[in-house]
Chains A and B, each alone.
Chain A
């Protein structure tokens, strides 16, 4: 069956521009996570959506970062006024509650 789909797979943009990253989770999965991973580093938690509960935004590094999850399915991570330190791979994962996470292939974001 279909896994977690992320788009675009690669994004190169100029410093100061806004970017939107998309995640299509596995159908029926109630939990959705966004992570950031810099080269050779671990997973940095960004935001967590669980069902209809208010999202856990405790990992968002600044107010330039925001995320939405529409209709309990597709999620968009938006980074405004991008900075060079935002360059990283952004990973999305979905799961049923308390079950293993399924990761997408990620979006590699490069800020020039």
Chain B
């Protein structure tokens, strides 16, 4: 079945450093979504990418969807302590009836 792999599992950075998490799917995706879960909270939707090669930005966050629509990345520039949390990618394949498959998540900690 479809799998979505996400790396790294953990990332510890100094405040001000950049951070990137990568997501790879075993199948071609119709879209990919990114979520953030703060400690003690539930996942909250950040963004959805649909087009091959699409790049979207939200302030210091840059999201990319690969040309083959099988991989994606989230890059945070100049991390802040408010960026702490776990970032999940989630993808939908064309043949899964709309079912969203989550990656394992990347837990980001930021040292002030």
The residues of A with any CB-CB pair to B shorter than 8 Å are: 31, 33, 35, 40, 42-43, 45, 48, 50, 53, 56, 58, 91, 93, 95, 97-106
Contact = CB atoms under 8 A, between A and B. Distances in A.
A56 B97 contact: yes
B42 A98 contact: no
Contacts of A95: 100
Contact of B98 (A31, A91, A100, A104): A31
Interface centre among A43, A91, A99, A105 (most CB of B within 10 A): A43
Interface of B: 1, 30-31, 33, 35, 42-45, 48, 86, 88, 90, 92, 97-105, 107
Interface centre among A42, A95, A99 (most CB of B within 10 A): A42
Given A50-B99, A101-B100, 8 more contacts: A35-B102, A42-B103, A56-B97, A93-B43, A95-B100, A98-B31, A98-B92, A103-B42
A45 B102 contact: yes
A33 B42 contact: no
A43 B102 contact: yes
A26 B87 CA distance: 23
22 contacts: A33-B100, A42-B86, A43-B43, A43-B102, A45-B102, A48-B99, A50-B97, A50-B99, A53-B97, A91-B43, A98-B30, A98-B92, A100-B33, A100-B48, A101-B45, A101-B90, A101-B100, A102-B45, A103-B42, A103-B43, A103-B44, A104-B42
A33 B62 CA distance: 28
Contacts of A106: 42
A45 B99 CA distance: 10
Contacts of B90: 101
A104 B42 CA distance: 7
A101 B88 CA distance: 12
